[in-house]
Amino acid sequence: MSGRLWVVVPAFNEAARIPATLRALAAQTDTAFTLLVVDNGSADTTVEAVRAFADRAPFPVHVLTEPEKGVGCAVDTGFRHAIAAGAELIARTDADCLPRPGWVAAARAALDGGAGMVCGRITARRDEHGPAGRAFFAGLVGLAALFGRLRPAHRGGGYLAPYRMHAGNNMAITAELYQACGGMPRRPSPTDRLFLNRVRRTTTSVVHSRTMVVENSTRRIRAYGVVRTAKWYLDRGSGVLDPDPR
């Protein structure tokens, strides 16, 4: 059954963080999946870390190189590779995130239950910030979700499903819907929001799962500071900083 569900993880210079992500995937209650790590031209030992893990992983592990820079490029290449290899269901997280043990099982249950796409719940990693930082992150996510629902561009004609907070590092989709909606935009950033709206124009079957949980890295807060982080999540840009500090 590992060929039916694939997990795609884009990675760029994540040698320090990806081992913890791989351990979190190995600790899933449902390990009947194939893991595909899409390396986006790392200059560190990210690929070596994944290949070392593959020797002891409880599921098949593949590494694919995407030379075109950008997380949208890496994700789209990974998803299309998985589909070409026979994947029917695809879940995605990022190389600095920690999926909780029931993450894969929750994604599979939602998609097998009839969802076309499922968006999970994100929370801050406990090893990066204390309670205050995690509370700030939770508040920021809640504010971004509210802003997304109220934003005029996310309402009106053309959308078949209501807006739901969508974190690219915690989502799953059927191969059929991924192809039908046109896939992940390779550019411009933020590609996740553009992708969600493509899906919303294609189907009514977008659901949210509170049991599909990923602990999210909060390094954007450290990279941007509070104000610029808020601007990013509220779709007001990030000033002169790189919009994708991976």
**Confidence (pLDDT) at 209:** 95
What distance in Å separates the CA atoms of residue 9 and residue 20, rounded to the nearest whole number? Answer: 13
β-partners of residue 90 are: 6, 173
Predicted confidence at residue 188, as pLDDT, reads: 77
pLDDT of residue 142: 65
pLDDT value for 243:
43
As averages over each run of 10 residues, the pLDDT of the chain (246 residues) reads 87 96 98 98 97 97 96 96 98 97 98 97 84 73 62 73 82 98 88 90 95 86 61 49 45
pTM, entire model: 0.86
Q: Closest by alpha carbon to 53, among 41, 67, 35, 40?
A: 35
In DSSP terms, which residues pair with 213 in a beta bridge?
A: 121
In the chain, where the domains are located: 5-233
* Fold category of 5-233 in CATH: Spore Coat Polysaccharide Biosynthesis Protein SpsA; Chain A (3.90.550)
**Tens digits of per-residue pLDDT, 41-57?**
999 999 999 999 999 99
